[in-house]
Structure 1
Amino acid sequence: MPEFSEILDNIPDRERYYTVDELHRRTLDLASEYPDKVELLDLGPSTEGETIECLKIGDGRYNALVHGFPNSEEPYGGNVLDNFSRALVENDDIREALDYTWYLVKCSDPDAARRNEGFHKGPLTPLNFSLNYYRTPYSITPDGCFPIRFGPLDLNSPVPETRALMKVLDRVKVHLISALHMMKWGGISYMVPFPCTGLYADLQNNARRFNVFPRKRPGTMLAPGIMHAEYLTPARNWVRHHAVGNTNIEPIQGCDAYEYAQVLNPDAFIIIPECCIWYEPRMLDDRVSESTLGEAFQYGNEVTNRANSFLLDVWGRALPHMVTETPYRFMVEDYMEPLISKYTNVSNPPFKFDARVHARKATVAEKIGIEGHDDIYRMFKLGGLRRALDEEFEATGSPEVEALRDEAHAELLEYDGFLHANYDVVNHPIRNLVGMSTGCLMHSALYAKTLQR
């Protein structure tokens, strides 16, 4: 096995996340500095006409496609791929030992990523994240709009950002694919499509090397820090529900990148090193708490239901005054829809637990992870609603919209105050997240080779 220390021991410190323009400049600099090792590919324009760039590095027998910003509010992938691309170029022995051709897209959704840049520049707090929050609706997100024709599904309307990734997937046989997703609360969950026991130890040791702890979360866990990700197969999930007569299923616009890649190479492997921006030190405490898991779940559900009721109330009062079409309005409409329709979610299926799980005493780590998740996540959609109202007010000057925006802002400050009064919110060092994910990509590349027939 290749030794990766030369790369992993030299991960630079970084105090914030790169902006889209910074990533673009650094991409051009690398291609200019190493024209014999780097090919800069133009994958076509984004929805708003911005070039989606891809770095092609190496000339190995295997192919890997990795992209950052699969969701536009998840910025660390740009930092990962900026560092990894340079590391591959400057470490010939490791690059050649991996035997891959790497296709690295630092930002697959540049239009939407720009809308979050007020957070990238800091401060890296939950409040600033919420005030700058924009998440591309799933119906137009790059990873969710790949063509598929299977059973009752006949979907072929990829958005420009999806077409950009298709240009790689359609031209070369991809053996490894990764979308650098980022959660907000916890440690690391390596998301995989099936049990891959030969990879677990390398992933766990790599996380330990960078002081990123495995997320303590109930769910489809395969091993500590390793989780089966059902969201990788939304089209298959849809068909399964349709086959048993479910008629109230989440509408989807296509399949996931992994499902599409598997059509072209059934042996393709995907891994998502799904790390988090923040954690709470009590997440390291595995002592038994006074609460059961069921009580923690109930707390989270109550927090989320109250927050959703507030969102629906404010949005309902705002709609008569909303006359401007903006990306923020579309985003809010998108996340209001399932609250109203209550359809079966297939793009991110919720976990279901039996009575025995609910009755078990939660560890302190599990209690903080579950309850804190809902206390912090309620801030994000409210921040997005506030942005939608602010955009409308700026466009029309409506005093009714201004009052509702201020009401949403006041509620957001209440949420933030509660969060900091009840939790010690700590940022994961960006260097640790970048190092952990860099090691994950290299170890996964070796593992993916063993799957090919």
Structure 2
Amino acid sequence: MLQPWLTSELDTVPGFARFLTVDEINQGFEELAARWPEVASLRRVGTSRLGEPMWCLTVGDGPLHALVGAMPHPNEPIGGLTVVHLARRLCEDPGLRARTGYTWHIVACLDPDGTRLNEGWFAGPFTKSHYGRHFYRPAGDEQVEWTFPFAYKDAYFDQVMPETLALMRLIDDTRPAFMTTLHNAELGGAFFYLTRPEPELHKVLTALPARYGVPLHAGEPEHPSVRQLDEAVFQTPDMREAYDYAEKMGQDPVAVVGGAASDSYAARYGTLGLAAELPYWIDPAAADRTPTEILYADLLLKEAAELRETAELLDEVLEGVRADVVSDSPFLRASRFFVPLVRVTAETNELRAAQDDSARPATVAERASGEGTVHSFRLRFGGMLLRALEGELAIGNGTPAIRRHAASLTRTYAKWCADAESGTPDETIPIGNLVAIQYGSILAGAAQAAASRS
């Protein structure tokens, strides 16, 4: 299933003990450009909202262009290691450059500001609790990957961030045949997004995780509007389809969708887009399609009830400190965005439970996926709200309300961590294996894109 040349490349990926910081990725690119000036050049392609330079390393001189960007979501750092390894291999191996036939444009970090707010967990320990307490994910209108222009029916978005604008310019300048922004998930199995069906590529992508003992995801898709192309291979999410789905379900679609993503923007150039979603922890149930004794509708309702309870508790904290907070920190902005989204997710589950096709047994993978969503939302968004309150306390804004709610949420969060860590410990996947799967998917995707152009 994996061609010998690709297997050989996978074997070049070393082991890693931790993830790279923004400074370390940038330093890696600088060293490569200095060591191989005849094949690599480093240039600044943008500036973050806090004034951080955004760097792109261009390697090779092939007729086709490939665009790779790390950390469009700053809590997903596998890509930082992957881009440095990809760039190094392309610089040092003329045979690999010739085989790919590309000019490669590799962006060190698409959201340096947000990534720095996650660096507290990059060196471990790699537990769910430690991850959640140092987690940061920007509000929707502050995410690079979801702030591309979008206009559809009553939805309109044009609040393009500087980081997004930098990626837009790079897409327009290079008109890539292949593009990937490097993502990863948290728990479960591996899965992939493609902007169009590529059956031969599906086979390679699903074989990559198996080489490292990582199961394929057989649970819930990230959104019910997402279409499945093959086992663990999905059509890249389309905001128009998310809008139509919400509208069909009786929800306000404008409240559900925001901006478009990079793959939607690049579609004008016929670009093949790929994203590899890889977990930090293996859930043994992730690939288990065995029916359970629980109806799928009941599973959805159970998850909805737990998500509603979570949203109500977090909303009570937000409302309780609303009059006292002064910082407008990124953690507060993110909390104000995501807490209502938890409630919307619960509502979506309730509506889905009423559909005729939900009157069937849930699978083991679906049950595990639902439970994992609840734990993930609690640890992610509870952790960010705690960081927001701790930030207020750190600047001396320790009002009685802030101190009271910080203490209460700390106790609740400890219980949520214990619940998430209970039962059979989830296996932490070696970081080098995750980088290898992502690296292999890039090379395989680029090869398929080139073949489709010939």
TM-score (norm 1): 0.90
What is the one-letter code of the residue matched to 1:387? R
* 1:140-168 residue CA offsets vs partner (Å, 9 max, x unmatched): 21122223567766654421111221231
* 1:195-216 residue CA offsets vs partner (Å, 9 max, x unmatched): 3212111111222122222111
8 Å CA contact retained: 1:235, 1:256? no
| Cα distance change on mapping 1:9 and 1:150 into 2, 3 Å | same
8 Å CA contact retained: 2:305, 2:346? no
1:298 aligns with 2:305: no
8 Å CA contact retained: 1:23, 1:78? yes
* 1:412-444 residue CA offsets vs partner (Å, 9 max, x unmatched): 110111122234222111111111111111111
8 Å CA contact retained: 2:282, 2:426? yes
What is the one-letter code of the residue matched to 1:448? A
8 Å CA contact retained: 1:130, 1:380? yes
The structure 2 residue matched to 1:223, chosen from 221, 230, 246, is: 230
Structure 1 counterpart of 2:254: 249
What is the one-letter code of the residue matched to 1:382? G
Structure 1 counterpart of 2:104: 102
Deviation for aligned residue 1:392 = 1.3
Instruction: After TM superposition, list the pairs within 5 Å mapping 1:167-178 onto structure 2.
Output: 167-178=169-180
- Aligned-residue RMSD, C-alpha: 2.9
8 Å CA contact retained: 1:65, 1:178? yes
* 1:201-233 residue CA offsets vs partner (Å, 9 max, x unmatched): 111122212222211114432222112232xx3
| Cα distance change on mapping 1:119 and 1:443 into 2, 3 Å | same
Alpha-carbon distance in 2 for matches of 1:50, 1:243? 42
Structure 1 counterpart of 2:125: 123
SS at match of 2:422: helix
Alpha-carbon distance in 2 for matches of 1:25, 1:283? 37
Alpha-carbon distance in 2 for matches of 1:182, 1:301? 24
Structure 1 counterpart of 2:418: 417
Structure 1 counterpart of 2:405: 404
Deviation for aligned residue 1:81 = 1.0
1:63 aligns with 2:75: no
The structure 2 residue matched to 1:193, chosen from 188, 192, 195, is: 195
8 Å CA contact retained: 1:11, 1:434? yes
TM-score (norm 2): 0.89
What is the one-letter code of the residue matched to 1:320? A
| Cα distance change on mapping 1:351 and 1:113 into 2, 3 Å | farther
SS at match of 1:386: helix
Of 211-220 and 379-388, deviating more is 211-220
8 Å CA contact retained: 1:280, 1:423? no
Alpha-carbon distance in 1 for matches of 2:424, 2:376? 10
What is the one-letter code of the residue matched to 2:282? Y
SS at match of 1:389: helix
Alpha-carbon distance in 1 for matches of 2:433, 2:64? 27
8 Å CA contact retained: 2:307, 2:342? no
| Cα distance change on mapping 1:351 and 1:108 into 2, 3 Å | farther
Structure 2 counterpart of 1:362: 362
Deviation for aligned residue 1:175 = 1.3
Alpha-carbon distance in 2 for matches of 1:280, 1:343? 23
Structure 2 counterpart of 1:445: 446
SS at match of 2:104: strand
What is the one-letter code of the residue matched to 1:281? P
Deviation for aligned residue 1:399 = 3.1
Deviation for aligned residue 1:282 = 3.6
**Unmatched runs of 5 consecutive residues or more in structure 2:** 222-226
What is the one-letter code of the residue matched to 2:101? D
**Unmatched runs of 5 consecutive residues or more in structure 1:** none
| Cα distance change on mapping 1:2 and 1:90 into 2, 3 Å | farther
Instruction: After TM superposition, list the pairs within 5 Å mapping 1:143-154 onto structure 2.
Output: 143-148=145-150
| Cα distance change on mapping 1:39 and 1:393 into 2, 3 Å | same
Structure 1 counterpart of 2:23: 21
| Cα distance change on mapping 1:60 and 1:382 into 2, 3 Å | same
* 1:339-364 residue CA offsets vs partner (Å, 9 max, x unmatched): 6789999xxx9995785653433343
| Cα distance change on mapping 1:292 and 1:137 into 2, 3 Å | same
Identity within the alignment, %: 24
8 Å CA contact retained: 1:212, 1:436? no
| Cα distance change on mapping 1:33 and 1:369 into 2, 3 Å | same
| Cα distance change on mapping 1:234 and 1:223 into 2, 3 Å | same
| Cα distance change on mapping 1:22 and 1:398 into 2, 3 Å | same
Instruction: After TM superposition, list the pairs within 5 Å mapping 1:10-409 onto structure 2.
Output: 10-148=12-150, 155-219=157-221, 220-230=227-237, 233-234=238-239, 237-238=242-243, 249-250=254-255, 254-263=259-268, 265=269, 267-338=270-341, 352=352, 357-395=357-395, 396-409=397-410
Alpha-carbon distance in 1 for matches of 2:73, 2:340? 19
SS at match of 2:323: helix
